[in-house]
């Protein structure tokens, strides 16, 4: 890493820290129904929305009603998107005349966007019409993000409220989150992106001749779209000559902004944020990484403000930031070391495969850890092309349950579930019935926290076991051996943890991955979400225990370090064997040990 | 006073060990073991290895029989060590319960129709007694059931229950009316109203509790078990996951064998939190037993754990913070008299006073001025009366009196030539403001001075309160004294707060207020008027000498009737939680080393490169796996003494305590198995 890359990284983290507090305070005001700078325009809009939809803002819900509203709302959205994907050929704004999705792919894609995963087993520019992108996918980018934030806010209310079953009103939280937070920032970000060269139109794709014709080896696919392999297991290719190129168009900027801001990650184009129309310059790259982390970082501060102790928020931020910096350092180190197989050919230095020169090593690494630490899943780097240990970094960030900032709302609520577990064990170690933020941690909180932190991990273990002994699943791997294992593990982990980024190198548009992915994404989103609301309900009913000298402070370094250890140890113990058989053995093999 | 203290029995007492071994085998029954789901899983795992061992013997399994056999043996030992730990913890209680049961041998009772000593009785068996029956108990008879004395007074030997051989007085009315079944009347006769049906008596409850028969898991224990079960399920899936991953890897690498069932099962048992799961029941039982050794009966495990959470302690002043009686500490002269004169006058006025206060005046005079006086035969004793509120002596025509300031002033003013020194009021006020009681002494019409009668704060009590404060526990003194006196004593004893002129309803209100603010409140009490407050408190300790209502309202009973026991109870409560937490952390930290032992060994045939993960340089894959299994098993009996005695408790702030325990049990838990497994591997190397 050279000096300018150091500088870029340091400036990035300084800017992130600088925006955390104002962002957090603003969001706290929004969710507490207080007046904000935008109220003069948005408050009347908010009132109109409530009047039209018949929502009484003062109508408080208990956890069951809150959860039921959330689930039903998501179910309706899912149904709508599924129908849209199956009928997009009949709908307007389809200049390329793209056909409808298959039902398996539609099922997978619909749940993927509703759950804020944005796993894409299709290429956006080839499979989705403009109407699908704008009315279907973009809308879900907003509401799935707002849903995650609403659940977090309900949990925070559970911590701060006493002896009540009221957790707020789901519809109000959804409206405020979308109206005051997601829409204004997306609007500004989209305008900025357009200024940098991101396109925004609904015109037909343009075909232009190449200045210099070229050729490449194209992998042959079988009838199912899986790569054909010869007897040795290497893919069969054919040489193709290219003289002209089709350049896809579309309303990209508007979608790009919310894609990052809502930690959605579903790219307009297949190349996602590596595509110059999505992410043209190092500056847009910087801004896009910032957008990914903006709300998750800000929410830690919102949490601190709402529980009445900003240090609690900073503690959470410190734990997340520590893991992010650690992951960034590990990735930088692994990629800087380069590829020993390439080094044997006399080319030493940074592993440049799969990286865009315009972003540089730091710009690529920062985006990679940012997008996998949060549940965004947008990419500007081919994760499949990272060195084995480098690839293990995003994989590990996903496998630890998306808590290194994590998805909007979902990251912090998962982190708080980890905190409950950490508080429980440390509470026992100091000889007290554990309490967190003045609320006692009892059997119910333990059950719910465990459901939150282990659902995704259990799903990954079960589905990866099935995949490894399912021929159709194994056949989708582009690479044999340990690397193929990593590809499958990554794909399942990405879906179960609602990340949505792809390791690539795996043909995911087959029934096995479409359907198991549907299951993984559904379980990975709704089991924790409902468990969090149940825990919020249980916490809100409890009385407040004032802190004393015997209470373990959770806003100081020892607890934060313990929390980080709990996260790392639970993650490592769950996935050590799988990682040993994937990236670790691949690394050892590459090094020629 | 002789006392059969409950001797703390050695953990490895021969008879107890033998009984525990037999009991631990009985506990292998899955119908018993299901209460400990983690260990039930280990038992199932052990059964599976028996099958793989049998297959090794017949050649159906290619693994050597010595390996599968040894793994199976050690897995069975793992389960056995766990049941043994529980049996050992129960064993101590059982021995004690047996001795209690002896005192409950079927006795007969004399059933009365009316509560009069003269009425006729019918003899019935103790098992036929019901609530509200009236029985007559005469000297040298055993009391047939729990009850209240409704008529008479008697000396009762309660050693069967309390271990205290000095008899106690039990009489009708007042705070000493409760009697316990199984105790013996030594002298006189009493009539008792039975308050508990057979099987529900105090002794029955005690036996049940000690035996652990009715032991229910505490909420905290259940919450921990949730965590342990969840971890077990995850590790089960992790091990199940290795099988397909290794099958795929064998195909990909083109050589090697998939990980065998024996190794997967061994890995599962090593990863599952067996150490804490094995010792969990023992920790709770041993905690109750430790309290029993301190002569405290907790009526539920929940009460002890609640004690660990207490953050407000309500303590009765008298007997807890101060010695029961006030004591003379100084003679202050007034009106130009010397201190020695005051001492002499006070001594004379107190000669006939047999109260502890009176005797302390005599002692002080002797100590300070070597004054000794006898009561002359002609002396006329003046006892304290409600009208005069004075006491003293008339000897050789001189009247010595002592009493409250206003009483003496009234007495002196009636005398000829009596006058009140101008400095008296000032001296009296000064003593009162200091929290002590001023007693004025006069010789006829001459006021000599003032005795400073003080509540003596128990030595060392300030240190205990300091410890409590560092643990985050607030102490509140409850007293009937006026606020001035209370404030002075509170300051001296260094309690955090006090409630003066406390009436029962005010105690109740205070507890409610604290609870409303989220505090956990503990209190001690013995009188009937304490019962409502006891029932309201989260941790209520009743003195065994207390009344039946007080004992019923409490959830902990102190057989020694020593109010400072609360501090011990808090300590044991904390110890139980800490031992659980520390062993959980230790158990999970151990997994890191076990992975490094087993994973390279299990996958070596597929990927020899993974040999670099064998950081301990264990001799062979088989001995690596076996070493991990053996370590996992023998760590259980090695930690049994810790589980039974509890983690050492140190009063210190929460954060320091956490760091301290994390370094020992977390870091230690990571390092210990690396060393242990390596040593076991070397031993196996020597044997093979």
Verify whether the Cβ–Cβ distance A551 to B654 is below 8 Å. Answer: yes
**B470-504 core/surface letters (b: 16 or more CB in 10 A; e: else):** ebbbbbbbbbebeeebbbbbbebbbbeebbbebee
Chain B residues whose beta carbon lies within 8 Å of the beta carbon of residue A441: 223
Query: Do A243 and A254 reside in the same domain of the chain?
Result: no
Chain A residues whose beta carbon lies within 8 Å of the beta carbon of residue B596: none
Question: Which are the contacts of A6, defined by CB distance < 8 A and separation ≥ 6?
Answer: A362
Strand locations in A387-525, DSSP E?
A: 435-436, 439-440
Q: Is A439 left (phi over 0), alpha (psi -120 to 50) or beta?
A: beta
Work out the angle at residue B254's Cα, subtended by the Cα atoms of residues B252 and B256, and round it to the nearest 5 degrees. Answer: 105
Which residue from B614, B638, B627 is spatially nearest to B677, judged by alpha carbons?
Answer: B627
Highest-confidence segment of A66-70, A264-268, B123-127, B643-647: A66-70
Verify whether the Cβ–Cβ distance A484 to B578 is below 8 Å. Answer: no
Verify whether the Cβ–Cβ distance A428 to B469 is below 8 Å. Answer: no
Read off the tokens for B249: 């890897």
Query: Do A258 and A278 reside in the same domain of the chain?
Result: yes
Nearest chain A residue to B248 by CA: give it: A468
In a domain, A493, yes or no: no
pLDDT at position B210 = 66
Verify whether the Cβ–Cβ distance B585 to A429 is below 8 Å. Answer: yes
In a domain, A523, yes or no: no
Verify whether the Cβ–Cβ distance A588 to B607 is below 8 Å. Answer: yes
Chain B residues whose beta carbon lies within 8 Å of the beta carbon of residue A578: 241, 245
Read off the tokens for B140: 């040298």
Read off the tokens for B431: 């003593």
In a domain, A321, yes or no: no
Instruction: Provide, for chain B, the percentages of residues in helix, strand and coil under a 3-state DSSP scheme, each rounded to the nearest 5.
Output: 55, 15, 30
Residue B289 pLDDT class (50, 70, 90 cuts): confident
What is the rounded distance in angstroms from the CA atom of residue A89 to the CA atom of residue A129? 8
B339 has pLDDT over 60:
yes
In a domain, A178, yes or no: yes
Verify whether the Cβ–Cβ distance B581 to A593 is below 8 Å. Answer: no
Verify whether the Cβ–Cβ distance B234 to A574 is below 8 Å. Answer: yes
| DSSP structure class, residue B419 | B
Query: Do A212 and A171 reside in the same domain of the chain?
Result: no
Query: Do A130 and A64 reside in the same domain of the chain?
Result: yes
Query: Do A51 and A194 reside in the same domain of the chain?
Result: yes
Chain B residues whose beta carbon lies within 8 Å of the beta carbon of residue A431: 308, 573-575, 577-578, 581, 649, 657
With 0.90 as the threshold, say if the pTM is over it. no
Active site residues of B: 316
Smallest CA–CA separation between B309 and chain A, in Å? 5
Which residue from B365, B577, B471 is spatially nearest to A428, judged by alpha carbons?
Answer: B577
Boundary residue ending a domain (A247, A277, A311): A247
Structural domain of A243: 206-247
Strand locations in A252-334, DSSP E?
A: none
What is the rounded distance in angstroms from the CA atom of residue B383 to the CA atom of residue B380? 10
Verify whether the Cβ–Cβ distance A550 to B473 is below 8 Å. Answer: yes
**B174-199 core/surface letters (b: 16 or more CB in 10 A; e: else):** ebbbbbbbbbbbeebbbbbbbbbebe
Query: Do A198 and A275 reside in the same domain of the chain?
Result: yes
Smallest CA–CA separation between B366 and chain A, in Å? 47
What is the rounded radius of gyration, in angstroms, for the C-alpha atoms of chain A? 23
Nearest chain B residue to A562 by CA: give it: B662
Q: What is the mean pLDDT of chain B?
A: 85
Nearest chain B residue to A232 by CA: give it: B252
What is the rounded distance in angstroms from the CA atom of residue A510 to the CA atom of residue A487? 15
Residue B666 pLDDT class (50, 70, 90 cuts): very high
Going from the C-alpha of A178 to that of each of A183, A185, A256, A267, A526, the distances in angstroms are 6, 10, 16, 20, 20
Strand-pairing partners, residue B112, are B121, B134
pLDDT digits (tens, 9 = 90+) for B405-448: 888 888 888 877 778 888 888 888 888 887 788 889 998 888 88
Chain B residues whose beta carbon lies within 8 Å of the beta carbon of residue A576: 595, 599
Verify whether the Cβ–Cβ distance B234 to A454 is below 8 Å. Answer: yes
pLDDT digits (tens, 9 = 90+) for B189-214: 888 888 888 777 777 777 776 666 45
In a domain, A166, yes or no: yes
Return the minimum-mean-pLDDT range out of A360-369, B457-466, B639-648, B666-675: B457-466
Number of alpha carbons in the 13 Å side-chain half-sphere of residue A356: 21
Q: What does the DSSP assignment read for B560-581? A: T--TTHHHHHHHHHHHHHHHHH
Boundary residue ending a domain (A302, A318, A336): A302
Say whether the ipTM exceeds 0.85: yes
Read off the tokens for B231: 């971890």
A466 part of contact set with chain B, CB < 8 Å: yes
Query: Do A170 and A268 reside in the same domain of the chain?
Result: yes
pLDDT at position B12 = 55
Residue B5 pLDDT class (50, 70, 90 cuts): very low
Biggest alpha carbon–alpha carbon distance for chain A: 75
Strand locations in A360-471, DSSP E?
A: 435-436, 439-440
A187 part of contact set with chain B, CB < 8 Å: no
Verify whether the Cβ–Cβ distance A425 to B585 is below 8 Å. Answer: yes
Query: Do A104 and A197 reside in the same domain of the chain?
Result: yes
In a domain, A32, yes or no: yes
How many residue pairs from chains A and B have C-beta atoms closer than 8 A?
205
B153 has pLDDT over 60:
yes
Looking at the 3D structure of chain A, how many domains does it have?
Answer: 2
Query: Do A59 and A46 reside in the same domain of the chain?
Result: yes
Query: Do A200 and A210 reside in the same domain of the chain?
Result: no
In a domain, A413, yes or no: no
pLDDT of chain A along its 593 residues, tens only? 678 888 999 999 999 999 999 999 999 999 999 999 999 999 999 999 999 999 999 999 999 999 999 999 999 999 999 999 999 999 988 888 899 999 999 999 999 999 999 999 998 888 999 999 999 999 999 999 999 999 999 999 999 999 999 999 999 999 999 999 999 999 999 999 999 999 999 888 999 998 888 888 888 877 777 777 777 777 788 888 888 888 999 999 999 999 999 999 998 999 999 999 999 999 999 999 999 999 999 999 999 999 999 999 999 999 999 999 999 999 999 999 888 888 888 888 888 888 988 999 999 999 999 999 999 999 999 999 999 999 999 999 999 989 999 999 999 999 999 999 999 999 999 988 888 999 999 999 999 999 999 999 999 999 999 999 999 999 888 888 899 999 999 999 999 999 999 887 888 889 999 999 999 999 999 999 999 999 999 999 998 888 877 788 999 999 999 999 999 999 999 999 999 999 999 999 887 43
A557 part of contact set with chain B, CB < 8 Å: no
Interface of A with B in 422-441 (CB under 8 A): 424-433, 438, 441
pLDDT digits (tens, 9 = 90+) for A153-191: 999 999 999 999 999 999 999 999 999 999 999 999 999
**B320-334 core/surface letters (b: 16 or more CB in 10 A; e: else):** bbbeeebbbebbbbb
Interface of A with B in 571-590 (CB under 8 A): 572-578, 580-581, 584-585, 588-589
Query: Do A109 and A212 reside in the same domain of the chain?
Result: no
Chain A residues whose beta carbon lies within 8 Å of the beta carbon of residue B311: 548, 550
Interface with chain A: mutation pick from B474, B625, B655, highest number of A CBs within 10 Å: B655
Query: Do A94 and A233 reside in the same domain of the chain?
Result: no
Smallest CA–CA separation between B346 and chain A, in Å? 48
Which residue from B238, B257, B239 is spatially nearest to B247, judged by alpha carbons?
Answer: B257
Smallest CA–CA separation between B598 and chain A, in Å? 10
In a domain, A566, yes or no: no
Verify whether the Cβ–Cβ distance A430 to B245 is below 8 Å. Answer: no
């Amino acid at each position: 890493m050279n000096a300018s890359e150091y500088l870029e990284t340091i400036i990035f983290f300084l800017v992130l820290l600088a925006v955390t507090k104002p962002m957090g305070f603003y969001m706290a005001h929004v969710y507490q129904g207080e007046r904000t700078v935008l109220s003069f325009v948005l408050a009347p809009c908010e009132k109109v929305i409530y009047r039209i939809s018949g929502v009484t803002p003062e109508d408080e819900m208990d956890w069951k009603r809150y959860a039921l509203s959330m689930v039903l709302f998501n179910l309706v959205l899912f149904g709508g998107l599924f129908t849209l994907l199956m009928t997009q050929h009949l709908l307007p704004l389809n200049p390329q005349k793209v056909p409808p999705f298959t039902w398996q792919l539609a099922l997978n894609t619909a749940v993927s966007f509703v759950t804020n995963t944005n796993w894409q087993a299709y290429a956006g520019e080839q499979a989705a019409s403009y109407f699908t992108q704008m009315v279907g996918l973009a809308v879900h980018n907003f509401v799935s993000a707002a849903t995650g934030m609403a659940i977090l806010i309900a949990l925070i209310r559970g911590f701060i409220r006493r002896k009540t079953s009221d957790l707020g009103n789901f519809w109000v939280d959804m409206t405020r989150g979308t109206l005051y937070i997601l829409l204004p920032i997306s609007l500004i970000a989209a305008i900025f992106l357009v200024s940098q060269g991101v396109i925004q139109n609904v015109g037909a794709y343009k075909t232009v001749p190449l200045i210099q014709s070229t050729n490449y080896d194209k992998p042959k696919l079988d009838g199912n779209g899986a790569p054909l392999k010869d007897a040795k297991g290497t893919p069969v290719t054919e040489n193709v000559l290219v003289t002209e190129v089709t350049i896809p168009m579309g309303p990209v900027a508007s979608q790009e902004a919310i894609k990052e801001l809502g930690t959605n990650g579903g790219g307009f184009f297949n190349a996602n944020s590596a595509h110059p129309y999505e992410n043209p310059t190092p500056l847009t790259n910087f801004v896009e990484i910032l957008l990914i982390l903006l709300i998750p970082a800000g929410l830690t501060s919102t949490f601190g403000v709402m529980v009445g102790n900003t240090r609690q928020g900073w503690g959470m931020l410190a734990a997340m930031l520590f893991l992010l910096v650690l992951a960034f350092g590990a990735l930088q180190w692994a990629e800087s070391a380069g590829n020993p197989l390439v080094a044997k050919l006399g080319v030493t230095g940074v592993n440049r495969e799969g990286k865009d020169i315009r972003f540089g090593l730091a710009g690529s690494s920062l985006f990679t850890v940012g997008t996998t630490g949060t549940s965004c899943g947008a990419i500007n780097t081919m994760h499949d092309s990272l060195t084995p240990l480098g690839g293990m970094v995003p994989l590990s960030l996903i496998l630890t349950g998306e808590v290194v900032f994590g998805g909007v709302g979902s990251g912090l609520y998962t982190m708080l579930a980890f905190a409950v577990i950490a508080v429980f064990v440390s509470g026992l170690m100091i000889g007290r019935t554990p309490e967190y933020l003045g609320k006692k941690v009892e059997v119910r909180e333990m059950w719910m926290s465990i459901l939150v932190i282990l659902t995704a991990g259990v799903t990954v273990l079960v589905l990866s076991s099935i995949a490894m002994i399912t021929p159709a699943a194994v056949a989708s791997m582009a690479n044999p051996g340990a690397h193929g294992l990593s590809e499958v593990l990554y794909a399942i982990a990405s879906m179960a943890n609602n990340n949505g980024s792809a390791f690539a190198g795996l043909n995911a548009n087959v029934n096995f991955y479409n359907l198991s992915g549907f299951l993984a994404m559904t379980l990975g989103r709704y089991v924790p979400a409902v468990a969090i609301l149940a825990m919020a309900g249980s916490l809100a009913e409890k009385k407040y225990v004032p802190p004393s000298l015997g209470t373990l402070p959770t806003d100081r370094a020892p607890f934060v370090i313990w929390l980080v250890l709990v996260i790392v140890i639970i993650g490592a113990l769950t996935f050590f064997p799988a990682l040993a058989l994937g990236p670790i053995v691949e690394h050892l093999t590459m090094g020629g040990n | 006073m002789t006392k059969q203290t409950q001797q703390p029995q050695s953990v490895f007492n021969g008879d107890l060990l033998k009984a525990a071994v037999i009991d631990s085998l009985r506990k292998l029954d899955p119908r018993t073991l299901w209460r400990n789901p983690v260990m039930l899983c280990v038992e199932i795992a052990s059964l599976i290895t028996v099958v793989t061992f049998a297959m090794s013997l017949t050649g159906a399994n290619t693994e050597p029989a010595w390996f599968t056999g040894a793994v199976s043996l050690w897995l069975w030992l793992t389960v056995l060590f766990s049941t043994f730990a529980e049996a050992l913890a129960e064993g101590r209680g059982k021995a004690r319960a047996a001795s209690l049961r002896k005192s409950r041998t079927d006795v007969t009772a004399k059933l009365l129709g009316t509560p009069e000593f003269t009425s006729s009785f019918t003899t019935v068996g103790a098992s036929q007694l019901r609530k509200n029956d009236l029985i007559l108990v005469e000297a040298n008879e055993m009391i047939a059931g729990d009850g209240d004395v409704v008529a008479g007074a008697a000396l009762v030997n309660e050693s069967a229950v309390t271990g205290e051989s000095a008899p106690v007085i039990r009489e009708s009315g007042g705070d000493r009316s409760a009697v316990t079944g199984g105790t013996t009347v030594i002298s006189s006769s009493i009539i008792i109203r039975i308050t508990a049906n057979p099987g529900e008596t105090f002794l029955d409850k005690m036996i049940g509790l000690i035996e652990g028969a009715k032991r229910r898991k505490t909420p905290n224990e259940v919450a921990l078990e949730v965590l342990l079960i969840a971890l077990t399920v995850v590790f089960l899936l992790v091990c199940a996951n290795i099988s397909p991953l290794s099958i795929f890897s064998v195909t990909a690498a083109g050589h090697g064998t998939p990980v065998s069932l024996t190794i997967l099962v061994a890995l599962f048992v090593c990863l599952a939190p067996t150490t804490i799961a094995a010792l969990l029941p023992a920790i709770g039982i041993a905690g109750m037993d430790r309290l029993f050794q301190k002569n405290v009966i907790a009526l539920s495990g929940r009460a002890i754990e609640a004690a660990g959470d207490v953050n407000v302690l309500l303590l009765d002043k008298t007997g807890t913070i101060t010695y029961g009686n006030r004591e003379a500490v100084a003679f202050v002269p007034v009106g130009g008299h010397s201190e020695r004169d005051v001492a002499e006058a006070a001594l004379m006025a107190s000669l006939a006073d047999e109260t502890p206060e009176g005797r302390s005046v005599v002692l002080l005079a002797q100590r300070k001025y070597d004054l000794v006086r006898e009561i002359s035969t002609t002396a006329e004793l003046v006892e304290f009366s409600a009208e005069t509120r004075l006491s003293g002596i008339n000897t050789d025509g001189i009247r010595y009196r002592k009493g409250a300031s206003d009483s003496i002033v009234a007495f002196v003013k009636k005398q000829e030539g009596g006058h009140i020194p101008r400095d008296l009021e000032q001296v009296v006020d000064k003593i009162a403001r200091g929290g002590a009681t001023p007693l004025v002494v006069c010789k006829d019409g001459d006021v000599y001075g003032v005795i400073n009668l003080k509540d003596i704060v128990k030595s060392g009590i300030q240190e205990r309160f300091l410890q409590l404060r560092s643990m985050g526990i607030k102490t509140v003194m409850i007293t009937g004294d006026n606020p001035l006196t209370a404030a002075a004593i509170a300051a001296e004893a260094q309690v955090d707060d006090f409630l003066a002129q406390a009436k029962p309803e005010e105690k109740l209100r205070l507890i409610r207020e604290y609870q409303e603010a989220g505090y956990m409140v503990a209190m001690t009490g013995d009188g009937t008027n304490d019962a409502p407050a006891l029932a309201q408190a989260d941790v209520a300790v009743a003195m065994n000498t207390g009344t039946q209502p007080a004992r019923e309202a409490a959830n902990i009973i102190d057989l020694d009737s020593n109010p400072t026991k609360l501090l011990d109870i808090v300590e044991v409560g904390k110890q139980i939680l800490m031992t659980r937490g520390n062993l959980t952390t230790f158990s999970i930290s151990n997994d890191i080393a076990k992975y490094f032992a087993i994973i390279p060994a299990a996958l070596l045939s597929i990927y020899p490169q993974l040999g670099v993960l064998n950081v301990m340089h264990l001799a062979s894959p088989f001995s690596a796996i076996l070493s991990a299994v053996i370590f996992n098993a023998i760590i259980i009996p090695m930690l049994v003494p810790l589980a039974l005695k509890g983690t050492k408790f140190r009063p210190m702030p929460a954060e320091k305590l956490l760091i301290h325990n994390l370094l020992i049990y977390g870091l230690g838990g990571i390092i210990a198995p690396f060393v242990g497994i390596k040593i076991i591997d070397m031993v196996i190397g020597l044997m093979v």
